[in-house]
């Protein structure tokens, strides 16, 4: 059988690559053939079909070894990415070779470009991939050693509209000579400039004084047991959620998820800092047994919190009342084995103590709590429902209280204490309703 000309092989290969650009096929390398996995049609089959339809005219009698070696090999390398959309792994076809067309006099090689995908190109685990660091342009950080007041206007005698703890992050609406107009959380007001660090000064302050967190910057991100794409997947992490950093590497970062640690790829996180946001003065007090010193514009010794509670609206619904009550304790510590809403609780101890205040007696630990009440689907969550997480183990590892708007309040970890998170900050596996 006569050998096919380089021109026709190149055309066939180019046709395959063009089809891939339309987003309809995924490619894999099988033996020496470049295969459409969806249609199971090889380049060789495409050429044979063309030959059959055109009477065999695509073969030349004077094909030379140079013709056979002129086109570079075209390889489709399927690489699983750690950034996934809608909870499913997407395969990315990466074209690494070149296709050469043979003109009448000399060969001009045109390198093939990487096929377009819906995600950022995937890097191998061995490659360095530094994460972007948070930009503090238009932002400021509270540098006082304790809480400061946020005023309705730039005057120390103006009404107090909120407070913010040391290390808190604010957005600058307008910087004045003595006071700046800021927003933070759900608070809009004014803070004295001498209590803030702005822009690059804020970045330097954060780097020197605040603990780092990893913020997920893709739709869903795999948390793995080891720093390798071949390592076992623990769970999926949600976009926008932040996780304490245990250690950083060139391509992977080790983070903490509740009481579990694991690794994420650097290109899918942004390095930020543990920065509380402002609390409105209308937020309810925490607990009658908790002693709080009044905040002023001067620094106090009050310990900073890690999250701001959501704004609660009065309601007669018992589930919502339970959720609102639980939110009062945001910022209080996580203590393994603890049940105190003010001095420290673990995840199940927090849930047990919150419900105890409403006359419900729940089991002490996570697993029996997951079997209490009535099972509900994750799509039908209502405030007060309990949401459970297995972190890839298949058994209950963590529990939080759903508060509405796609959020839970939970005793997260010793690093973050009691906080509010997205309900899918990790992949939930079960939910139940205690209040009917």
Query: Which of these, 33, 21, 3, 15, lies nearest to 99 by C-alpha position?
Result: 15
Gap between the Cα atoms of 196 and 205, Å rounded: 10
Q: DSSP assignment, residue 379?
A: G
Helix H segments across 142-284? 199-209
- Between 436 and 135, the higher pLDDT residue: 135
Q: What is the pLDDT of residue 186?
A: 86
Report the pLDDT value the prediction gives residue 81, as an integer from 0 to 100. 57
Among 208, 188, 200, CA closest to 139: 200
Interatomic CA distance for residues 400 and 392, integer angstroms:
17
| Confidence band, pLDDT 50/70/90 cuts, at residue 41 | very low
As a 3-state breakdown, the chain gives helix, strand, coil percent values, each rounded to 5, of: 20, 35, 50
Nearest CA to 5 out of 103, 118, 113 is that of 103
Alpha helices (H) in 297-357, listed in sequence order: 318-327, 347-356
Given a cut of 80, is residue 197 above it in pLDDT?
yes
Question: Which DSSP symbol is given to 315?
Answer: -
64-104 per-position pLDDT tens digit: 333 233 333 333 333 345 665 433 333 323 333 333 333 44
Cα angle 247, 251, 254; round to 5: 25
Band of residue 415 on the pLDDT scale cut at 50, 70, 90 = confident
Residues 6+ apart with CB under 8 A from 238: 216, 220, 422, 424, 425, 426
Q: Is the pLDDT of residue 57 over 50?
A: no
Q: How many CB atoms lie within 10 A of CB 207?
A: 12
Q: 349: pLDDT confidence band, cut at 50, 70 and 90?
A: very high
Alpha helices in 62-183 (DSSP H): 65-69
Measure the CA–CA gap between 283 and 255, rounded to whole angstroms.
31
Please tell me the CATH superfamily of domain 315-433, with its number: endopeptidase domain like (from Nostoc punctiforme) (3.90.1720.10)
Say whether 315-433 and 139-209 share the same fold. Answer: no
Would you state the structure tokens that stand for residue 240, as one six-digit string?
């926008």
How much of the chain, in percent, has pLDDT values that exceed 70? 62
Question: What's the rounded Cα separation, in Å, for the pair 364 and 348?
Answer: 6
Q: Is the pLDDT of residue 30 over 60?
A: no
211 and 274 in contact (C-beta within 8 Å)?
yes
- More confidently predicted of 296 and 192: 192
Q: Kindly state the DSSP code that residue 159 receives in the 8-state scheme.
A: P
CATH code reported for the domain at 212-273:
2.30.30.40
In CATH, what class is 139-209? Answer: mainly beta
What local confidence, expressed as pLDDT, does residue 188 receive? Answer: 96
Question: What is the pLDDT, as a whole number, of residue 72?
Answer: 35
Q: Looking at the predicted structure, is the pLDDT value of residue 123 above 60?
A: no
326-343 tens-digit pLDDT: 999 998 999 999 999 999
**Of 349, 369, 366, residue with least CA distance to 417:** 349
What is the domain partition of the chain in residue ranges? 8-65, 139-209, 212-273, 315-433
Helical H segments across 74-169, by residue range: none
- Predicted confidence (pLDDT) at residue 361 exceeds the cutoff of 80: yes
Higher-pLDDT residue of 114 and 408 is: 408
Instruction: Identify the pLDDT of residue 279.
Output: 87
Active site residue ranges: 347, 398, 410
Mean pLDDT confidence for 200-225: 94
Asked whether residue 54 carries a pLDDT value surpassing 70, the answer given is no
pLDDT in tens, 132-179: 889 999 999 999 988 999 999 999 999 999 999 999 999 999 999 999
What does the pLDDT look like over 277-288, one tens digit per residue?
898 886 444 443
What was the pLDDT predicted at 435? Answer: 93
Question: Which are the contacts of 225, defined by CB distance < 8 A and separation ≥ 6?
Answer: 231, 232, 233, 234, 262, 263
* pLDDT at position 84: 58
N-term to C-term CA, the chain: 78
- CA–chain centroid gap for 320, Å, is 27
pLDDT of residue 426 exceeding 90, the answer is: yes
Whether 219 has a pLDDT exceeding 50, the answer reads yes
**Lowest-pLDDT range of 96-100, 296-300, 353-357:** 96-100
Let me know: does 242 contact 307? Beta carbons within 8 Å.
no
Averaged over 23-45, what is the pLDDT? 38
Residue 396 pLDDT grade (very low, low, confident, very high; cuts 50, 70, 90): very high
Whole-number pLDDT of residue 310: 37
Cα gap 206→182, rounded to integer Å: 18
Mean pLDDT of the chain: 74
Return the bridge partners of 238, or none: 220
CA 228 – CA 126 distance, rounded (Å): 9
């Amino acid at each position: 059988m006569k050998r096919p000309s380089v021109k026709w092989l190149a055309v066939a290969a180019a046709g395959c690559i063009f089809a891939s650009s339309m987003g309809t096929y995924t490619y894999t390398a099988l033996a020496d053939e470049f295969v459409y996995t969806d249609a199971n049609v090889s380049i060789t089959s495409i050429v044979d079909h063309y030959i059959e339809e055109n009477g065999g005219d695509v073969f030349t009698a004077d094909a030379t070894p140079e013709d056979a070696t002129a086109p570079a090999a075209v390889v489709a390398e399927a690489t699983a990415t750690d950034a996934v959309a809608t909870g499913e792994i997407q395969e990315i076809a990466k074209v690494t070779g070149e296709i050469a067309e043979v003109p009448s006099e000399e060969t001009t090689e045109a390198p093939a470009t990487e096929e377009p995908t819906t995600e950022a190109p995937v890097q191998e685990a061995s490659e360095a991939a530094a994460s972007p660091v948070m930009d503090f342009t238009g932002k400021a950080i509270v540098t006082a050693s304790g809480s400061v007041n946020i005023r309705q206007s730039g005057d120390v005698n103006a009404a107090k509209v909120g407070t913010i703890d040391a290390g808190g992050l604010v957005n600058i609406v307008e910087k004045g000579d003595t006071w700046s107009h800021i927003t933070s959380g759900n608070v809009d007001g004014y803070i004295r400039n001498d209590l803030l660090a702005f822009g690059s000064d804020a970045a330097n302050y954060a780097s020197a004084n605040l603990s780092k967190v990893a913020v997920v910057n893709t739709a869903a991100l795999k948390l793995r047991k080891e720093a390798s794409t071949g390592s076992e997947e623990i769970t999926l992490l949600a976009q926008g959620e932040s996780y304490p950093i245990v250690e950083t590497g060139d391509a992977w970062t080790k983070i903490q998820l509740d009481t579990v640690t694991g690794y994420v790829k650097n290109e899918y996180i942004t390095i930020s800092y543990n920065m509380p946001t402002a609390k409105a003065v209308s937020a309810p007090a925490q607990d009658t047994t908790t002693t709080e010193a009044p905040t002023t514009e001067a620094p106090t010794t009050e310990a900073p919190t890690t999250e701001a509670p959501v704004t609660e609206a009065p309601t007669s619904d018992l589930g919502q009342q339970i959720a609102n009550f639980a939110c009062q304790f945001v910022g209080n510590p996580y203590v393994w084995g603890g049940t105190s809403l003010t001095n420290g609780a673990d995840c199940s101890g927090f849930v047990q103590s919150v419900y105890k205040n409403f006359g419900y007696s729940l089991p002490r630990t996570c697993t029996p709590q997951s079997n209490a009440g009535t099972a509900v689907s994750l799509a039908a969550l209502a405030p007060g429902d309990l949401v459970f997480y297995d972190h890839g183990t298949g058994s209950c590892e963590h529990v939080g209280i759903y508060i509405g708007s796609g959020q839970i309040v939970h005793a997260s970890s010793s690093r973050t204490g009691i906080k509010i998170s997205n309900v899918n900050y990790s992949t939930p596996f079960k939910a139940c309703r205690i209040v009917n």
